Amino acid sequence: MMRLEIAPTLAADGLDLQRYRMRLLERFANPALRHRTLQIAMDGSQKLPQRILDTVRDRLTSGDSIERLALVIAAWICFLGGVDEAGRPHAIEDPLRDTLAALLADADRRSAPGFGKSEAERHRIACICALGPVFGTLGSDPRFIDAVARQSTRLREGGVRSALAAFD
C-alpha cells in the first residue's frame, strides 16, 4: 500500500521515499515501541480523514486503484463491530463511538432484506460511508463504495490473512 498507492501521490521534494518507507516499516516492527495495534485503531474517525482519505481522493481523481487503501477502511469498519476474528470483544475508543455504533447497527439492519450477498455488503458499506464528518463526499462515490465493499467482503469471509494474501 505504501509503495503502490501512497507513494505515487506524494511530492518527494528531495525525500527518498523508498528509504522513508523502509524506516517506517522498521519502526512498526520494533517491539520496544510497545504501541499496540488496538491503540493504532483508536480514534479512527479522526485518523482516517487525515491519514488515508486524502490519498484515496488523489487516487480516485487520477483514476488509479485504491484497493489497498480500501482494505484499511474496511478493516476499520470491521473493527467497529467490537469483536476480533477469534471472537474476543474489544472496546471502541472513538469520539464518534455512539454515532458509529448506531450507524453500523442501522447499516446491518437495512442491508439485509431484499439484497443478494454482494449487493447487501455494498449497501451496508454505503450506509456507513455516508457519515460526512468522516468520509465527506467519498460516501457518494461509487468507486470508493465498491472498493471498500470488496475488501470488507474479503475480510468478513476469509479474515485478515486471506484479504492480505489477495495482494500477493
pLDDT at residue 39 in the model: 74
Q: What is the mean pLDDT of residues 79-105?
A: 93
pLDDT digits (tens, 9 = 90+) for 110-143: 776 666 778 889 999 999 999 999 999 999 999 9
Residue of higher predicted confidence among 39 and 83: 83
Q: Which of 25, 31, 26 is nearest to 1 (CA)?
A: 25
Residue of higher predicted confidence among 86 and 36: 86
How far is the C-alpha of 105 from the C-alpha of 37, rounded, in Å? Answer: 24
Kindly report whether the global pTM for this prediction surpasses the value 0.85: yes
How far is the C-alpha of 106 from the C-alpha of 127, rounded, in Å? Answer: 8
DSSP-based three-state secondary structure for 86? coil
pLDDT digits (tens, 9 = 90+) for 41-77: 789 999 999 989 999 999 999 999 999 999 999 999 9
pLDDT at residue 119 in the model: 87
Which CA distances in Å does 161 have to 118, 164, 167, 168?
20, 5, 10, 11
Which CA distances in Å does 107 have to 55, 99, 111, 112?
25, 12, 6, 9
CATH (residue range 37-165):
1.10.1040.10
pLDDT digits (tens, 9 = 90+) for 8-53: 887 767 778 888 888 888 887 888 876 666 677 789 999 999 989 9
